[in-house]
Structure 1
């Protein structure tokens, strides 16, 4: 006796059960892909896009123009055991608006001598995001991508790749589910039409 092989449904129709319903497995796959896509979008906004704004301010392309005058320098030991120097000072806007005192300034090495003034760009405080804390007002004097620039490049590339794949899968799954719903609606209307005859 010959065994009959079970025929698989065409791609895109595997979501349908005998009754024309969409399977729970297909809905779970769709939900996971949509959630991953949304998470990657939020992370992209939170990490690389946020750091890009600060890196652009360091290069003079973003932020409020003005001058930063150093008032003090603090040394903080990092988790890796290295000492980090943080400069604080006063920012005066170029348009003559109200200045800010005691804000952090990102200045070139050796530029945090008390009373030293730099052309700078101010990035206003923000409330943080999903994975980053709120940041206070900060002034940027001098160029260079520093660690923020590398964060933009590395995390941006990773999230665009991973997020792009997740978004593509979400779009494909959404299309499959919508076509299954439309087929189900068509079958229902056809069966109602036959029953009336």
Structure 2
């Protein structure tokens, strides 16, 4: 897919997220109004008051969840806005975990991150970097059995800045581990990014797999 096509999808998606946010704002306003009206009634005059309050609380909780989801989707939609920009690695990984945690939850696999103590920013392509990280997650999700864990950490490494995505747990098939389509996609994407180098490490002793992404400073 060409950059202009990616940007087109991003712009349309971002526009829709703003409209959906307006819908949630209306839901919040109406729910608040109903809550205020109910607070003026007595339990005797409205015997279903408790049930209505419980229902309104659930509506507000779902509205808050929806706003958070749309906010993250909007952030994702704006990734193609720039082909090269300064990226906060902690924030970038946290965003990816939020976007992919449902895939992990379906397969009973946890995604965890160890944030760097100091804020670290690198210059790269935000969209392709996020895509590369996603392929790493997908790679592990395809090969780990339920109960596995995926870990993120990052650090300075001489002339490069490294993002390590490692996994612990039992894999389905060791022979197919490095023939996974996501691994191939990651290799192709590394060539597209130019500044990204991907390497695999596998430890048969503790059944852990690690992918290291190196970004030039």
TM-score range, shorter chain: under 0.3
- Which has the larger helix fraction? 2
**Structure 2-normalised TM-score?**
0.25
Greater Rg by CA: 1
